[in-house]
């Protein structure tokens, strides 16, 4: 337990962290990777270059400081991060390294303002927070290994099938090389894929949502090829998977993880909203509902640029044709001539409030959504304007967690 003095010192740093938090975390990663370059094998380099990891850590540190008197209130965030850590292979021995470099970064950025008293208080607080993470993650590692079909660390899976779903999305059907069972998962969870890419100095790990239901003898991931876009370079891992990985090749996977999961005990209607490749966890949820709870009303809304990049459409359409409780709607931002001729979409442009009001029969439902950050920010705002309670709103960031409020777009957000 932290002393009252330590708590007060930590709370006094909240205004400073609000201003300088990202500068501190940016310096932290620079210092840590210089001293421990082996940790580059764990972290997503793209998120580092884009600043997303630094912002996510700054938000987590800030939340810990604000809630230092009641750290149990941030337990959901701890569990979410712990799932990521377990999936990536973060171990107890990494925490002292993080603590040492985080304290050094605070001192480096704040200079004389980071007094010995402040550094000591944060050292104590970090010890308590690290112990909480280590304890939660230890339970997760044990559960991952001990469950039916579970394993420890990475396990070799063979690409049984590779299917092009759209111009930019390809599915990989993965089965264990050892012929054993696969661990089950909750619809909405993800796996980590670890790749050794030729001529790349470090291992690359990416997390991909499972895009099929848990009752299959395989895992399926549906990966979008990230091409050069504005100031973002092409995705190394997604392009390697699309261009180099073939049927019969081997991928190393972690046990499924993640806190963005479908509540299967809730009998109320469910609304699934996705943009772009954000439909992958939604299809897993829809498949699961169709098999395990066919009487539950489901509204499935998906936004894409057009039919050329719309993946898994036939699977969703087939599910809806067999289940009268499933209502499917497509929104195309820029439909092609073929889309128009075939009438393959329900709305042109963006998801907006009047359209949602026509589709959604009740706000007494569970709402799940996933997609690009600006898309999710728009959906989050629209659901609140509809009167949906915060407790019924659930969403997933692809990558480090962020704030939808901070990402609020000035104009409607499309998908690509």
* Binding-site annotation, residues for NADP(+): 276-281
Q: Cα(187)–Cα(297) distance, rounded to whole angstroms?
A: 17
Separation CA 273–CA 100 (nearest Å)? 42
Alpha-carbon gap, residue 251 to 244, rounded angstroms:
12
Residue 21 tokens, joined = 């938090």
| Residue-wise DSSP of 256-271 | PB-S----TT--S-EE
Instruction: Could you list the residues known to form a binding site, using ranges.
Output: 85, 190, 206-209, 276-281, 397-400
Token match 């069972």: residue?
181
Q: What is the DSSP string of 177-238?
A: TT--------TT-EEEEEE--TT-SS-EEEEEEB-S-TTSSSEEEEEE----BTTBPPPHHH
Candidates 104, 62, 124, 86; CA nearest to 259 is 86
Catalytic residue among 4, 38, 93, 137: 137
Tell me the chain's radius of gyration from C-alpha atoms. Answer: 22
Q: DSSP for 270-317? A: EEEEEEGGGHHHHHHHHHHHHHH-TTS-EEEEEEES-GGG--SHHHHH
Q: What angle (nearest 5°) sits at the alpha carbon of residue 134, between those of residues 130 and 140? A: 145
Tokens coding 37: 């370059």
Q: Is 219 a known active-site residue?
A: no
Helix ranges restricted to H, 89-169? 94-110, 116-146
Which of 95, 173, 219, 395 is catalytic? The answer is 95
Distance CA 47, CA 398 (A): 10
Bridge-based pairing of strands 169-176 and 219-224 is antiparallel
Annotated binding site for FAD: 190, 206-209, 397-400
Is 117 annotated as catalytic? no
d(CA 84, CA 401) in angstroms, rounded, equals 11
For the annotated catalytic residues, the residue numbers are 95, 137
């Amino acid at each position: 337990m932290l002393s009252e003095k330590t708590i007060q010192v930590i709370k006094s740093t909240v205004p400073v962290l609000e201003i300088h938090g990202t500068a501190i975390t940016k310096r932290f990663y620079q210092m840590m990777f210089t001293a421990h370059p082996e940790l580059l094998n764990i972290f997503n380099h793209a998120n580092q270059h884009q600043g997303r990891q630094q912002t996510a850590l700054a938000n987590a540190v800030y939340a810990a400081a604000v809630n230092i008197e009641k750290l149990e209130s941030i337990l959901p965030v701890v569990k979410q991060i712990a799932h990521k850590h377990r999936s990536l292979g973060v171990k107890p021995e990494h925490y002292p390294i993080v603590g040492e470099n985080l304290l050094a970064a605070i001192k480096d950025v704040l200079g004389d303002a980071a007094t010995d008293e402040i550094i000591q208080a944060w050292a104590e607080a970090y010890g308590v927070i690290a112990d909480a993470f280590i304890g939660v993650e230890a339970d997760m590692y044990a559960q991952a290994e001990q469950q039916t079909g579970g394993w420890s660390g990475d396990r070799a899976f063979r690409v049984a099938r590779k299917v092009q779903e759209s111009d930019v999305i390809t599915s990989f059907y993965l089965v264990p090389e050892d012929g054993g069972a696969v661990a089950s998962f909750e619809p909405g969870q993800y796996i980590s894929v670890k790749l050794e890419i030729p001529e790349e100095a470090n291992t690359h790990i990416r997390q991909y949502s499972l895009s099929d239901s848990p009752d299959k003898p395989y895992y399926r991931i549906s990966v979008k090829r990230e091409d050069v876009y504005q100031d973002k370079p092409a995705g190394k891992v997604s392009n390697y998977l699309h261009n180099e990985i073939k049927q019969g090749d081997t991928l190393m996977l972690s046990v499924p993880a993640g806190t963005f999961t479908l509540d299967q005990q809730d009998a109320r209607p469910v609304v699934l909203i996705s943009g772009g490749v954000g439909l992958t966890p939604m299809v897993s949820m829809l498949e699961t509902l169709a098999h395990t709870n066919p009487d539950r009303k489901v509204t499935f809304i998906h936004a894409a640029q057009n039919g050329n990049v719309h993946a898994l459409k036939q699977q969703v359409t087939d599910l809806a044709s067999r289940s009268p409780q499933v209502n499917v709607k497509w929104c195309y931002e820029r439909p092609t001539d073929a889309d128009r001729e075939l009438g393959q979409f329900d709305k042109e442009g963006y998801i907006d409030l009047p359209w949602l009001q026509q589709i959604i029969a009740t706000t007494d439902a569970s709402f799940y959504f996933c997609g690009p950050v600006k898309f999710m920010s728009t959906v989050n705002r629209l659901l609140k304007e509809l009167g949906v309670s915060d407790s019924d709103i659930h969403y997933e960031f692809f990558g480090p967690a962020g704030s939808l409020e901070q990402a609020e777009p000035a104009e409607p957000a499309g998908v690509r």
